[in-house]
């Protein structure tokens, strides 16, 4: 009996250690905003958006007088609304109402369990519902824009909910299994440990990787999709973008490659803001040409 207890203990301890590693090693860092749109001369409103579990999303609403079309913008892992301002400002100047949000466990939004890409998508959906209810006249056409995990999230949200007219996905990975495997291998873990760890992550988030992979969701989205990817991205290589394109050749999907841009190169992408605006204009958004 004692030997059996020791055996069970020897099995349980490594499993507990791996569980703690996944929960705490991949916990999103919280970085609150320090500036605001007012620093750029933009009038805005701080908003509180209800989401699941009676939690609250913190957001910035940047309206345009007379603007009928809007975009919801979500950051990547460990980001916040302020980090996405370089992309929000040119869209706002072109005539688009902008709603920037902090995902749960990020920025100034409420804490709520474990962050995951599907939870990011839930937050995007909550923001879209709030916007349609609070500002229906500004939702003639609605776009989603996300970066990294946020990019995968807007693709998932658009694939599961109607009423989205365009999606811009910046630096999205092609498959959660692929990006998680890359990340876990960086810790030099034994290869045999990775499959059970991936299975555990799927159990925790409550979704199968295959069902939420951008290579699948981009194909299911009824909205036209613009993938944006830097060719110097070492976190999510540009091969992931090409993989999404190959998986969805028949869909309304296009790829914009940004020369020299890395994973966090929001400023480098801003230099090509005209192409983002042109994409939205092609989908019927009433935007002015960039100056």
* Residue 177 CA from chain centroid, whole number: 16
**In the prediction, which pLDDT does 277 show?**
92
Residue 80 lies in a domain: yes
Confidence grade of residue 12 (pLDDT, cut at 50, 70, 90)? very low
Q: How is residue 255 written in tokens?
A: 């790829």
Based on its alpha-carbon atoms, the radius of gyration of the chain, rounded to whole angstroms, reads: 20
Instruction: Tell me how many domains the chain contains.
Output: 2
Residue 21 lies in a domain: no
- Summarised one tens digit per residue, pLDDT across range 34-65 is 999 999 999 999 999 999 888 999 999 999 99
Q: How crowded is residue 11: how many other Cβ atoms within 10 Å of its Cβ?
A: 10
Q: How is residue 46 written in tokens?
A: 């701080």
Do 51 and 142 have their domain in common? yes
Q: Are 102 and 80 in contact (CB under 8 A)?
A: yes
Q: Is the pLDDT of residue 18 over 70?
A: no
Do 112 and 124 have their domain in common? yes
Confidence grade of residue 6 (pLDDT, cut at 50, 70, 90)? very low
Q: Which of 191, 209, 227 is the last residue of a domain?
A: 209
**In the prediction, which pLDDT does 52 show?**
81
Do 119 and 261 have their domain in common? yes
Angle, in degrees to the nearest 10, between helices 176-185 and 194-205:
130
Q: Are 33 and 81 in contact (CB under 8 A)?
A: yes
Q: Which of 209, 229, 260 is the last residue of a domain?
A: 209
Nearest CA among 183, 173, 92, 106 for reference residue 138: 92
| Cross-strand bridge partners of residue 257 | 229
Residue 27 lies in a domain: no
CA–CA distance from 247 to each of 49, 130, 174, 224 (Å)? 35, 33, 10, 15
Q: Is the pLDDT of residue 272 over 90?
A: no
* Average pLDDT, integer, range 66-91: 95
Q: Are 260 and 268 in contact (CB under 8 A)?
A: yes
Residue 149 lies in a domain: yes
List CB contacts of 54: < 8 A, sequence separation 6 or more.
Answer: none
Query: Helix (H, G, I), strand (E, B), or coil: what is residue 5?
Result: helix
Do 168 and 254 have their domain in common? yes
Range of the domain at 190: 178-209
List CB contacts of 6: < 8 A, sequence separation 6 or more.
Answer: none
* Average pLDDT, integer, range 86-97: 94
Residue 194 lies in a domain: yes
CA–CA distance from 63 to each of 46, 91, 92, 137 (Å)? 12, 11, 8, 11
Do 243 and 143 have their domain in common? yes
Q: How far apart are CA 84 and CA 86, in angstroms?
A: 6
Q: How far apart are CA 76 and CA 28, in angstroms?
A: 10
* Average pLDDT, integer, range 273-279: 91
Q: Is the pLDDT of residue 251 over 50?
A: yes
Nearest CA among 87, 29, 37 for reference residue 61: 37
* 32 phi, psi to nearest 5 deg: -70, 150
**In the prediction, which pLDDT does 213 show?**
96
Confidence grade of residue 288 (pLDDT, cut at 50, 70, 90)? low
Confidence grade of residue 187 (pLDDT, cut at 50, 70, 90)? low
* Residue 264 CA from chain centroid, whole number: 13
Q: Over pLDDT 90: what percentage of the chain?
A: 64
Residue 8 lies in a domain: no
Which pTM does this prediction carry?
Answer: 0.88
Q: Which CATH number do you get for residue 121? A: 3.40.50.1820
Q: Are 140 and 71 in contact (CB under 8 A)?
A: no
């Amino acid at each position: 009996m004692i030997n059996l207890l020791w055996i069970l203990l020897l099995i349980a301890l490594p499993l507990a250690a791996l569980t703690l590693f996944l929960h705490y090693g991949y916990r999103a860092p919280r970085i609150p905003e320090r500036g605001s749109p007012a620093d750029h001369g933009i009038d805005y409103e701080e908003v509180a958006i209800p989401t699941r579990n009676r939690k609250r999303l913190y957001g910035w609403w940047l309206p345009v007088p007379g603007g009928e079309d809007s975009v919801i913008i979500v950051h990547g892992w460990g980001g916040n609304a302020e980090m996405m301002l370089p992309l929000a400002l040119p869209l706002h100047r072109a005539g688009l109402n902008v709603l920037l949000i902090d995902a749960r466990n990020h920025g100034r939004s409420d804490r709520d369990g474990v962050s995951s890409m599907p939870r990011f998508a839930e937050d995007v959906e909550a923001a879209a519902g709030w916007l349609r209810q609070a500002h229906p006249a500004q939702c003639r056409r609605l776009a989603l824009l996300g970066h990294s995990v946020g990019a995968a999230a807007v693709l998932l949200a658009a694939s599961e909910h109607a009423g989205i007219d365009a999606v811009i996905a910046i630096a999205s990975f092609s498959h959660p299994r692929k990006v998680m495997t890359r990340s876990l291998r960086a810790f030099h873990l034994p290869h045999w440990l990775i499959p059970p760890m991936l299975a555990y992550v799927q159990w925790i988030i409550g979704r199968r990787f295959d069902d939420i992979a951008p290579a699948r969701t981009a194909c299911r989205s009824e909205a036209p999709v613009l993938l944006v990817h830097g060719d110097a991205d070492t976190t999510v290589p540009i091969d992931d973008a090409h993989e999404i394109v190959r998986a969805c050749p028949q869909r309304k999907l296009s790829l914009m490659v940004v020369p020299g841009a890395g994973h966090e190169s929001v400023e480098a992408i801003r230099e090509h803001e005209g192409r983002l605006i042109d994409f939205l204009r092609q989908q019927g958004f009433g935007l002015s040409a960039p100056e």
